[in-house]
Amino acid sequence: MKIINLVLLAMKALQRNKLRALLTMLGIIIGVASVITMMSIGEGSKQSINASLSSMGSNMITIMPFSNEPGGARLAGSSFKTLTIKDVNALQKDAPHIALISPLASSSGQSINGANNWPTTIQGVNPDYLEIRKLVVKDGIVFSDQDVRGSAKVCLLGKTVVDNLFPNGESPLGKVIRFGGIPMQVIGVLVPKGTSNFGQDQDDVIIAPYTTIQKRVLSTIYFNQIYASAVTESASDDAVKEVNTALRITHRLRDNQDNDFQVRTQAELMTMLNSTSSMMTALLTAVASISLVIGGIGIMNIMYVSVTERTREIGLRMSIGARGVDILLQFLIEAVMISITGGVIGVVLGISAAIIIPNMLNWPTVISESSIVISFLVCAVTGIFFGYYPALKASGLDPIEALRYE
């Protein structure tokens, strides 16, 4: 029998048992829809992580102090004091792949404006920091290199700090706030950045010249971190190498000594976060694909029933000249049609879900073509796999017995 006739035959057979066909499809529909939805949620969160990371500066390089066991005891990285202005100067001189560089000396404490106060973090940096972290001043101006040299008592406020110190909506520009007992004039307000991927409020910050923080707040010559940006994103790796070489020299490390600092790029962070979200996606998809398997078993079950029900029909078809392969294909195509129709409905439902979810739950979703293609292929394979055995059973029937089957 020609394939086109077999397809028409299968369509007719399914039409006759619409409800049954639909119920059989249900497993496949749910399976495909949930696979597509899960994968779109996974892809969406991956892309939103990437987007927010590149909004932090995709070519950003972070240098942190790191344990080198000076006295045999390992200590937390942040308690090491190895980064100084010498390192910053060395990098400015010897690392051609680094475009911008800023030290960071930070401190936590209470900020006060009159009767209002707010616990926050103050970051001592140089003007390049804003460029590296993609921070923009909305109102006012950025402090200058002059301010840095002179340890000027000026600062920029994040939105959260503004909201808490100036709850009545008055402009903070020109006002003097206090942090750790040091009065500082507000010269600018930052454009809000929102919450980071780690759940951290990126607007809960005060930015001031690093010299001011080092000398007036912390009384130290060390930095917590050094932020730098590579010339381009692809130059990150070269920049990291240069940082390693330059800092080993300034820190006078011998060849057999480990680094007493750690260099991280945004790309590494991106990979790490992506691998986490990929694992979650894989997990959710695995759970979803279980229902595809269950759907397949449903098809197999119904096809067995169908073969038994139509034993006489099979006997008749054989007696008037159907070969085993004709019968096999007839039932196989029927099974595949169930699974593919279920697959199409599932794809439509999955896409709809992926469109509705961002509106209802505020989760980002991105529908990937690959998820549609994969789940579609999987359900076609499911149909073939689970439809094959019942079809084989049908094609192996003895026409004499099938004809006499009651």
Partner 1 sequence: MSTKILEIQNVKREFKMGTETVRALKGVSFDVNSGEFVTIMGSSGSGKTTLLNMLGCLDKPTEGTYMLDNVNVKNLTRDELAKLRNTKIGFVFQAYNLLPRTSALENVELPLLYNPLIGTQERKDRAIAALQAVKLDGRFDHTPNQLSGGQQQRVAIARALVNEPVMILADEATGNLDTRTSYEIMALMQELNDKGKTIVFVTHEPDIAAFSTRTVMLRDGKVQKDTMNVNRRSAREALDSLPVSDDY
Positions that interact with partner 1 (CB under 8 A): 1-2, 5, 16, 312-313, 315-326, 399-400, 403
Q: What phi and psi values does residue 116 have, to the nearest 5 degrees? A: -95, 140
**Comparison of 280 and 403: residue with beta carbon closer to partner 1:** 403
Nearest distance in Å: CB 376, partner 1? 30
CA within 13 Å, CB half, 54: 7
Separation in Å, CA 137 to CA 32, 179, 188, 192, 292: 47, 20, 6, 9, 52
Give the whole-angstrom CA distance, residue 402 versus residue 314: 7
**Comparison of 1 and 348: residue with beta carbon closer to partner 1:** 1
Contact residues for 64 (Cβ-Cβ < 8 A; gap 6+): 77, 78, 83, 224, 225, 261, 262, 264
- Secondary structure of residue 258 in the 3-state scheme: coil
Nearest distance in Å: CB 307, partner 1? 15
**Comparison of 2 and 252: residue with beta carbon closer to partner 1:** 2
Nearest distance in Å: CB 10, partner 1? 13
Nearest distance in Å: CB 315, partner 1? 8
Q: Which residues pair with 177 in a beta bridge?
A: 184
Nearest distance in Å: CB 12, partner 1? 8
Nearest distance in Å: CB 363, partner 1? 48
Are residues 98 and 91 in contact, defined by beta-carbon separation less than 8 angstroms?
yes
**Comparison of 320 and 360: residue with beta carbon closer to partner 1:** 320
Nearest distance in Å: CB 406, partner 1? 10
Query: Residue 198 corresponds to which tokens in the numbers above?
Result: 């780690």
Query: Residue 263 corresponds to which tokens in the numbers above?
Result: 């260099």
Of 137, 135, 173, give the one whose Cα is nearest residue 154. Answer: 173
Query: Residue 3 corresponds to which tokens in the numbers above?
Result: 């394939």
**Comparison of 78 and 308: residue with beta carbon closer to partner 1:** 308
**Comparison of 389 and 405: residue with beta carbon closer to partner 1:** 405
**Comparison of 21 and 148: residue with beta carbon closer to partner 1:** 21
Contact residues for 369 (Cβ-Cβ < 8 A; gap 6+): none
**Comparison of 237 and 309: residue with beta carbon closer to partner 1:** 309
Of 330, 332, 325, 329, give the one whose Cα is nearest residue 388. Answer: 332
Q: What share of the chain is helix, strand, coil (3-state, %, to 5)?
A: 55, 15, 25
Mode of pairing for the β-strands spanning 154-157 and 182-190: parallel
Nearest distance in Å: CB 346, partner 1? 29
